[in-house]
Structure 1
Amino acid sequence: MPVDPESAHVDPTSLIDDVNSRIVQALSAHDPAELHAAAACTGVNVGETYAGRLWTGGVCPLVRRYPTGEAFTAALTNGSPDALSAAVEVLAAVAPAAAMSFALEVMRIDLDGFTFGHNRVPFELVMRGRAEKIIKRDLCSAPPEILLDMLRRRSLAPGEIPKSKIADIPVAALIACVSAGELRFDQAESAGLFSEHPALRDGAGLLNALLKTRLFSTVDGHDGGLAQWLAHRLAETRYTPAVPALRELFTRQRRFLTTAGESLLEIGTPEALEAAASPLSLEGVPINEYDRHDRQTIAIDALLRASPSRAFDVLAPLFEERVLRSGDNRSESAGTVLEKLTPAQAAAEPRWIERSLMAAQDRELGATARALLDQLDPGIVDQAAARVKKRKRKAAARSTVKPPAGCLIERYRAGEHERVWEELAALDRRPPKALAVQAEGVAMETMERVRCGLEAVVETLRAEAYPFHKKARALVPPPLDALRSVKRLERLTGGGRLPLSLRAFYLVVGSVDLSGSEDRFRHDPKKHGPKPKRNEIVDVPEKYPFMYLSHFDPLVVLPLEEAVAEAERWAHEERERVGMNAPLDLTISPGPSFKANPRDAQPEPVDTVRLPGPFADVELHRGRGGTVPFVEHLRGCLAWGGFPGLAGTNIRPQAALDALAQSVAPF
Structure 2
Amino acid sequence: MPVDPTRAPADPTALIDDINSRIVHALGAHGPAELHAAAARTGVNVGETYAGRLWTGGVRPLVQRYPTGEAFMAALANGSPDALNAAIEVLAAVAPTAAMSFALEVMRIDLDGFTFGHNRVPFELVMRGRAEKIIKREPSTASPEILLRMLRRRTLAPGEIPQGKIADIPIAALIACVSAGELRFDQVESAGLFSEHPALREGAGLLDALRRTRWFTASDGHDGGLAQWLAHRLAAARYTPAVPALRELFTRQRRFLTTAGENLLEIGTPEALEAAASPLSLEGVPINEYDRHDRQTIAIDALLRAGASRAFDVLAPLFEEQVLRCGGIRSESAGTVLEKLTPAQVTAEPRWIERCLSAAQDRELGATARALLDQLDPGLVDEAAARAEKRKRKAAAGSTVKPPAGDLVKRYRAGEHERVWEELLALERRPPKALAAQAEAVAMETMERVRCGLEAVVERLRAEGYPFHKKARALVPPPHDALGSVQRLESLTGGRLPLSLRAFYLVVGSVDLSGSEDRFRHDPGKHGPKPKKGEIVDVAQKYPFMYLSHFDPLVVLPLEEAVAEAEMWARRERERAGMKAPLHLTISPGPSFKANPRDAQPEPVDTVRLPGPFADAELRRGRGGAVPLVGHLRGTLAWGGFPGLAGTSVRPQAALDALAQSVAPF
Does the alignment reach a TM-score above 0.5?
yes
> Residue 94 of structure 1 corresponds to which residue in structure 2?
94
Cα distance in 2 between the residues matched to 1:219 and 1:101: 44
> Residue 606 of structure 2 corresponds to which residue in structure 1?
607
Task: Give 3-state SS (helix, strand or coil) of 1:504's partner.
Answer: helix
Contact 2:544 2:655 in 1 (8 A): no
User: Structure 1 counterpart of 2:429, which letter?
Assistant: R
User: Structure 2 counterpart of 1:625, which letter?
Assistant: G
Number of corresponding residues: 657
1:297 Cα deviation (Å)? 1.3
Task: Give 3-state SS (helix, strand or coil) of 2:199's partner.
Answer: helix
Aligned-residue Cα RMSD (Å) equals 3.0
Cα distance in 2 between the residues matched to 1:306 and 1:9: 67
1:451 Cα deviation (Å)? 1.5
1:288 Cα deviation (Å)? 6.5
Q: Mark the CA change 1:378 to 1:142 in structure 2 (over 3 Å): closer, same or farther.
A: farther
Q: How is 1:277-292 mapped onto 2 (pairs within 5 angstroms)?
A: 277-284=277-284, 289-292=289-292
Task: Give 3-state SS (helix, strand or coil) of 2:511's partner.
Answer: strand
TM-score by length of 1: 0.91
Cα distance in 2 between the residues matched to 1:218 and 1:657: 53
Cα distance in 2 between the residues matched to 1:618 and 1:216: 54
1:623 Cα deviation (Å)? 2.4
Task: Give 3-state SS (helix, strand or coil) of 2:517's partner.
Answer: coil
Q: How is 1:82-161 mapped onto 2 (pairs within 5 angstroms)?
A: 82-161=82-161
Cα distance in 2 between the residues matched to 1:595 and 1:286: 28
Cα distance in 1 between the residues matched to 2:227 and 2:658: 69
User: Structure 2 counterpart of 1:277, which letter?
Assistant: A
> Residue 476 of structure 1 corresponds to which residue in structure 2?
476
> Residue 598 of structure 1 corresponds to which residue in structure 2?
597
1:309 Cα deviation (Å)? 1.0
Task: Give 3-state SS (helix, strand or coil) of 2:624's partner.
Answer: coil
1:264 Cα deviation (Å)? 0.7
Task: Give 3-state SS (helix, strand or coil) of 1:429's partner.
Answer: coil
Contact 2:51 2:119 in 1 (8 A): no
1:654 Cα deviation (Å)? 4.6
Task: Give 3-state SS (helix, strand or coil) of 1:459's partner.
Answer: helix
Deviations 1:348-400 (A, max 9, x none): 11111211111111122222222222222222222222222222122112212
Cα distance in 1 between the residues matched to 2:441 and 2:213: 75
> Residue 382 of structure 2 corresponds to which residue in structure 1?
382
Task: Give 3-state SS (helix, strand or coil) of 1:30's partner.
Answer: coil
Cα distance in 2 between the residues matched to 1:248 and 1:652: 48
1:446 Cα deviation (Å)? 0.9
Q: How high is the sequence identity, in percent, across the aligned residues? A: 86
User: Structure 2 counterpart of 1:591, which letter?
Assistant: G
Q: How is 1:216-615 mapped onto 2 (pairs within 5 angstroms)?
A: 216-217=216-217, 221-284=221-284, 289-494=289-494, 496-519=495-518, 544-573=543-572, 576-577=575-576, 579-615=578-614
Between 434-443 and 416-425, the greater mean CA deviation after superposition: 434-443
> Residue 67 of structure 2 corresponds to which residue in structure 1?
67
User: Structure 1 counterpart of 2:545, which letter?
Assistant: F
Task: Give 3-state SS (helix, strand or coil) of 1:370's partner.
Answer: helix
Cα distance in 2 between the residues matched to 1:312 and 1:68: 89
> Residue 535 of structure 1 corresponds to which residue in structure 2?
none
User: Structure 2 counterpart of 1:134, which letter?
Assistant: I
Contact 1:319 1:359 in 2 (8 A): yes
Between 391-400 and 136-145, the greater mean CA deviation after superposition: 136-145
1:111 Cα deviation (Å)? 0.3
Deviations 1:68-112 (A, max 9, x none): 111111222222232122111111111112222221221111100
1:133 Cα deviation (Å)? 1.5
Cα distance in 2 between the residues matched to 1:558 and 1:597: 17
Contact 1:554 1:642 in 2 (8 A): yes
User: Structure 1 counterpart of 2:641, which letter?
Assistant: G
1:428 Cα deviation (Å)? 2.2
User: Structure 1 counterpart of 2:279, which letter?
Assistant: P
Contact 2:50 2:81 in 1 (8 A): no
Cα distance in 1 between the residues matched to 2:238 and 2:54: 61
Q: Mark the CA change 1:184 to 1:288 in structure 2 (over 3 Å): closer, same or farther.
A: farther
Task: Give 3-state SS (helix, strand or coil) of 2:312's partner.
Answer: helix
Cα distance in 2 between the residues matched to 1:78 and 1:54: 20
Cα distance in 2 between the residues matched to 1:34 and 1:659: 104
Task: Give 3-state SS (helix, strand or coil) of 1:402's partner.
Answer: coil
User: Structure 1 counterpart of 2:375, which letter?
Assistant: Q
Q: Mark the CA change 1:25 to 1:220 in structure 2 (over 3 Å): closer, same or farther.
A: farther
Q: Mark the CA change 1:10 to 1:318 in structure 2 (over 3 Å): closer, same or farther.
A: farther
Q: Mark the CA change 1:160 to 1:9 in structure 2 (over 3 Å): closer, same or farther.
A: farther
User: Structure 2 counterpart of 1:411, which letter?
Assistant: R
Deviations 1:131-179 (A, max 9, x none): 1212222223333222211111111222333444323322232123334
> Residue 199 of structure 1 corresponds to which residue in structure 2?
199
1:648 Cα deviation (Å)? 4.0
Cα distance in 1 between the residues matched to 2:285 and 2:131: 55
Cα distance in 2 between the residues matched to 1:469 and 1:106: 79
Cα distance in 2 between the residues matched to 1:603 and 1:51: 64
Deviations 1:36-61 (A, max 9, x none): 11101211111134689995221111
Deviations 1:610-645 (A, max 9, x none): 111111111212226333211111112222332223
TM-score by length of 2: 0.91
Cα distance in 2 between the residues matched to 1:8 and 1:381: 88
User: Structure 2 counterpart of 1:407, which letter?
Assistant: D
Cα distance in 1 between the residues matched to 2:513 and 2:361: 32
Task: Give 3-state SS (helix, strand or coil) of 1:195's partner.
Answer: helix
> Residue 637 of structure 1 corresponds to which residue in structure 2?
636
Contact 1:54 1:119 in 2 (8 A): no
Contact 2:501 2:616 in 1 (8 A): yes
Cα distance in 1 between the residues matched to 2:340 and 2:215: 30
Cα distance in 1 between the residues matched to 2:308 and 2:5: 64
Q: Mark the CA change 1:631 to 1:161 in structure 2 (over 3 Å): closer, same or farther.
A: same
Cα distance in 1 between the residues matched to 2:160 and 2:166: 10
Return 5+ residue gaps in structure 2 as ranges.
none
Task: Give 3-state SS (helix, strand or coil) of 2:59's partner.
Answer: strand
1:553 Cα deviation (Å)? 2.3
> Residue 534 of structure 1 corresponds to which residue in structure 2?
none
